[in-house]
Chain A
Amino acid sequence: GNSVTQMEGPVTLSEEAFLTINCTYTATGYPSLFWYVQYPGEGLQLLLKATKADDKGSNKGFEATYRKETTSFHLEKGSVQVSDSAVYFCALSDRGGNQFYFGTGTSLTVIP
């Protein structure tokens, strides 16, 4: 079946540090991959996505590349800010968008 395994947190970084949050997946077929973010007190919102192998999603300085050979979709940012403090969820959907599977979330705290 389909599943997502995400790096456990919490993660604490200093401002301007490099961020990597690991995400690997198990899926049949060719899923679409997503990173969602949940800021404190807010709902889930899409951060970036990739719909096929070797695609790179990017937004707000965050990037993730769809790696079929390693079944991974790691989230990276070169220089984090305090405002990036949030919980990050990796997710996949089957090709038809019939079901979504989320990881358990990784809490990130960025300190000044």
Chain B
Amino acid sequence: DTGVSQDPRHKITKRGQNVTFRCDPISEHNRLYWYRQTLGQGPEFLTYFQNEAQLEKSRLLSDRFSAERPKGSFSTLEIQRTEQGDSAMYLCASSLETGGAEQYFGPGTRLTVT
């Protein structure tokens, strides 16, 4: 297993368009997390899944954001009607289901909304 992968690595889109990002976690990890990171800031938690169930959602996750993990493996994060403020790095991480377990991060998808 080569770790957490994300696709695409970069996305440029016009304001108002929809975008979808994919994350493939480490295969034996049943937890998957999405974060947003802007320049000069740490990652901000968006949501997380345990298997296919979405268990936590941050208030940062507006109605334009939706995430799925249909079979408990890969996950998608969709942003509808993108706004310039959505420009950021979107990070995915996975971990085992144990308290104190470390998260393994993917390389991120950098979104630029023009």
Contacts and interface: CB of A to CB of B under 8 A. Distances in A.
Interface of A: 4, 6, 32, 34, 36, 42-46, 49, 51, 89, 91, 93, 95-105
B85 interface: no
B31 interface: yes
25 contacts: A4-B42, A6-B42, A34-B102, A43-B105, A43-B106, A44-B91, A44-B93, A45-B104, A45-B105, A46-B102, A46-B103, A46-B104, A49-B102, A51-B99, A51-B100, A89-B43, A91-B42, A96-B99, A97-B98, A97-B99, A97-B101, A100-B43, A100-B103, A102-B35, A102-B43
Interface of B: 31, 33, 35, 40-45, 48, 55-56, 58, 91, 93, 95, 97-108
Nearest to B3: A43
Contacts, number: 64
A44 B40 contact: no
A98 B55 contact: yes
Nearest to B31: A97
A46 B104 CA distance: 8
A24 to B, nearest CB: 14
A100 B108 contact: no
Given A99-B56, A102-B42, A105-B41, A43 B100 contact: no
